[in-house]
Amino acid sequence: DIQMTQSPPVLSASVGDRVTLSCKASQNINKNLDWYQQKHGEAPKLLIYYTNNLQTGIPSRFSGSGSGTDYTLTISSLQPEDVATYFCLQHSSRYTFGAGTKLELK
Amino acid sequence: EVQLVESGGGLVQPGRSLKLSCAASGFTFSNYYMAWVRQAPKKGLEWVATISTSGSRTYYPDSVKGRFTISRDNAKSSLYLQMNSLKSEDTATYYCARPEGTGNNWFAYWGQGTLVTVSS
C-alpha cells in the first residue's frame, strides 16, 4: 500500500504570508495527487486535482506542484478564511490520504 | 447543482449491523463511480469503498473487506453501505463522495456526512 506523509502537522502563519505544505508518497504516484481543505465541522472540499489543476471556484492564491513522490500546496497570500486542515490524497493505486496539516493564524 | 445527502447513521452496539444511504442529485448518477470515505473523531480521512457505474465492480481496503458492502440503485440515484460486524474502531463520520468520471479519480464532491457510533 502507498503511504502518504504530510508535513508539517501544524503550521502557524500570518495573514499575507506565503505558505507551503508538503506531501510525500512512499513510491512514485505519477502526479495522481489532490489537495483538500476541511474547515471545522465541514466536509472536505477539493482544491487541487492531479497535482496542479485548480478546482472551479477555488481562489487563484492556491496552487499545487510536484512529481514522483514529492508534492506541494502553496497559498501565495494567506487569508483568515484559509484557516483549516489540509489533506493530500493519492489516487494512483486505490486511495490513501495524508494525516493532514492544520493551518493556524499566528 | 450536485448534492449528496447521507442518512442512516446512529448508535449501534459492537457486532451489530447498520446500513447507510446516500441520495444523489444534480448529475447523471449512473455515469459515475461512487465511494464512501470515513473520518474517525478528530482523526484523518480513510477511503472505505468504491463501486463502478453498474455496480459490477467493488473495491475495499483491508480494514473493512468482508464486513462492509457497497451497492447502488441507479434507478433511485442512491448509494448504500452495508456495515456488518461493527467494531469500535468503525466509529466515524461517513461521507458519500463522487469521484470525477470513472475509475480511480479525485473526489470532486462530498456529502455532509453521517455519524456512526459503535459502542455498548
**pLDDT, tens only, A11-60:** 999 999 999 999 999 999 999 999 999 999 999 999 999 999 999 999 99
Longest dimension (CA), chain B: 40
Q: Is A82 helix (H, G, I), strand (E, B) or coil?
A: helix
Residue B42 reports pLDDT greater than 90: no
Q: How far apart are CA B73 and CA B22, in angstroms?
A: 10
**Confidence bin at B92 (pLDDT 50/70/90):** very high
Number of CB pairs < 8 Å for A and B? 54
Number of Cβ atoms within 10 Å of the Cβ of A16: 9
Q: Which residue has the cell 459515475?
A: B32
Per cent of chain B over pLDDT 90 is 93
**A95–B112 CB contact, under 8 Å:** no
Handedness of CA B93, B21, B5, B32 (dihedral sign): positive
Instruction: For the beta carbon of residue B50, count every other beta carbon within 10 angstroms.
Output: 22
> pLDDT at position A65, please?
98
Cα separation, B63 vs B49, in Å, equals 10
Does B113 sit within 8 Å of A96, measured CB to CB?
no
pLDDT for position B104:
83
* C-alpha cell belonging to residue A97: 490520504
User: What is the residue-averaged pLDDT of chain B?
Assistant: 96
Cell matching residue A71? 508534492
To the nearest whole Å, the CA of A94 is away from the closest chain B CA by: 7
Return the percentage of chain A with pLDDT > 90, whole number. 100
pLDDT given at position A27: 98
Asked if the model's pLDDT at residue B103 lies above 90, the reply is no
